[in-house]
Copies of this chain bind each other. A is one copy, B any other.
Amino acid sequence: MPDPFAFDLAATDGDARAGVWSTPHGDVRTPAFMPVGTAGSVKGVMPEQLAAIGSSQILANTYHLALRPGADVITDLGGLHAVMSWEGPILTDSGGFQVFSLADLATMTEEGVRFVSHVDGSKLFMRPEDSVDIQAKLGADVMMCLDECPPLPCEPAKMADAVDRTTRWATRCRDRWNELDRLTAGGDPQALFGILQGGVDPAMRARSAEGLLPLDFPGYAIGGLSVGEAPAEMYRTLEATTPLLPREKPRYLMGVGTPADLVNAVMRGVDLFDCVMPTRNGRNGSVFTSGGVLKIKNAVHARDTAPIDAACDCPACRRGGAGAFSRGTLRHLFLAGEMLAPILLSLHNLRFYHRLLADLRAAIERGEAEAFAAAELAKWGAGANVAATNPPPGDPVRTQNGA
């Protein structure tokens, strides 16, 4: 039978790639950004609004859904596509990142991770096999291996241990995935991606790739970045890592990042991204524009009849035409605590991310990626790495998905 998870490279330009990632729930034109729906909903955004602004694949969180409402409940409700009211592809992360982001609530042994629920204090023990079982019950198109993601900086010995444990766990995940035999069972097939660790040390990244590539996953994620290191270190790490990965499989940089991060990573051969930044920043009143970051709460916007960005075609800006929400209106709604403000700002930022990558893809197809990236990065600083090591004001938090 044909591979339900084919990845076709439509064009390349230097290291940058324009691809089509196929899933049982439709295609994703890469490079692509996945909005984060931690608990089964991209906060405040209706599924049809997501589709309208160009979302193709969305992400949900295994750890959060396992705790509430529980994987069996999701199954009983028809699976994650039904729960999220989303007909397109869905990816679930494994829970590994929550060991990092909820460190106080997680204890790791070789067997697995013991979580104390951030919701109600209940216990959840998650072995790599459990993570796969839970993700099988959730029913997303793409599952992720349970991994160990150490914070940076990290002692070399500890990093080597994390890399090797991630490889051992990936093997257990793959074995469990094969046992489940979803590809030939009744349900929709699910892909399983491996996750590279190794921090910012090229040798460690190579060690991780060496361990994972023989497992022949249909896609590979680069984890363990955007966890404390400077952006320039992340970009150097990407340069050292993507050449280690199979050319014919999608590459997913987890939990990244700023617009400059996305451009820099695509130029280094990355295809897929997720991050809470566009929605979280939107909920906090910070929006990305073609002219830089804008803080909607600032008093200067009080009587401003201009939209956030007249060049933007999102539901808030509408290119400045009929029905566009002015900066003054958005500021008022934000200060009045009206839900419509975070909704509109989230939609705007997500649309900004999707358009950025769609434009970058078009540039790759034209063979003009380098010029496009340079022009784009100039907006966020004085050049690629400068923009990256100096993130736009107001976006100090570089966060991964989910928590």
Measuring CB to CB, which residues of chain A are less than 8 angstroms from any residue of chain B? 39-41, 43-48, 68-69, 73, 76-78, 82-83, 85, 87, 302-303, 305, 315, 322-326, 328-329, 331-333, 335-336, 338-340, 342-343
In the bound complex, do residue A328 and residue B76 qualify as a contact, i.e. CB atoms below 8 Å apart? yes
Selected contact of A83 from candidates B39, B302, B329, CB within 8 Å: B329
Q: Assembly of this chain: how many copies? A: 2
- Known pairs A40-B332, A76-B328, A83-B326. 20 more at Cβ < 8 A? A39-B332, A39-B333, A40-B329, A40-B333, A41-B333, A46-B315, A68-B335, A68-B336, A69-B332, A69-B335, A77-B303, A77-B326, A78-B326, A82-B329, A83-B332, A85-B325, A87-B322, A339-B339, A339-B342, A343-B343
> A302: which B residues are within 8 A, CB to CB?
69, 73
List, in ascending order, chain B residues with CB within 8 A of A303's CB. 73, 76-77
Closest to A75 in B: B303
The residues of B that contact A43 with a CB separation of less than 8 Å are 338-340
A85 vs B320: C-alpha distance when bound (angstroms): 12
Give the Cβ gap from A340 to chain B, nearest Cβ, in Å. 4
Identity of the chain B residue whose Cβ is nearest the Cβ of A85 in the assembled complex: B323
Ordered by A's residue number, 9 sampled pairs between the chains whose C-beta atoms are within 8 Å are: A39-B332, A43-B338, A44-B44, A69-B302, A73-B303, A73-B332, A77-B326, A83-B332, A87-B322
> Could you tell me the distance between the alpha carbons of A48 and B347 in the complex, rounded to whole angstroms?
14
Q: Is the CB of A339 within 8 A of B69?
A: no
- When C-beta atoms are compared, the residue in chain B nearest to A72 turns out to be B303
> What's the least CB distance linking A207 to chain B, in Å?
39
User: Which B residues touch A338, using CB under 8 A?
Assistant: 39-41, 43
Measured CA separation A305–B82 after assembly (Å):
9
Bound CA span A302–B87, Å: 22
Instruction: Find out whether the CB atom of A328 lies under 8 angstroms from the CB atom of B73.
Output: yes
State how many angstroms separate the Cβ of A62 from the closest Cβ of chain B: 15
How near does chain B come to A219, taking the closest CB pair, in angstroms? 27
Closest B residue to A316 by CB, please name it: B85
List chain B residues, Cβ under 8 A from A331.
69
Bound Cα distance A83, B332 (Å): 9
A333 to B325, CA, bound (A): 28
- CB neighbours (8 Å) of A85 from chain B are 323-325, 329
Taking the closest CB of chain B, its distance from the CB of A320, in whole angstroms, is 12
Q: Is the CB of A39 within 8 A of B336?
A: yes
Q: In angstroms, how far is the closest chain B Cβ from the Cβ of A283?
A: 9
Select from chain B the residue with minimum beta-carbon distance to A49: B46
Q: Is the CB of B326 within 8 A of A40?
A: no
* Closest chain B CB from A99 CB (angstroms): 21
CB-nearest residue of chain B to A303: B76
In angstroms, Cα B318 to Cα A48, docked, is 13
Tell me the nearest residue of chain B to A332, going by C-beta: B69
Q: Which residues of B contact A44 (CB under 8 A)?
A: 44, 339-340, 343
Q: Which residues of chain B come closer than 8 Å to A328, judged between CB atoms? A: 69, 73, 76-77, 83
A336: which B residues are within 8 A, CB to CB?
39-41, 68-69
Instruction: Specify which of A83, A324, A331 lies most central, judged by the most chain B CB atoms within 10 Å of its CB.
Output: A83
Give the CA-CA distance A44 to B343 in the complex, in Å: 8
Q: Which residues of B contact A47 (CB under 8 A)?
A: 323
The residues of B that contact A315 with a CB separation of less than 8 Å are: 46, 48
B46 touches A343 (CB 8 A): yes
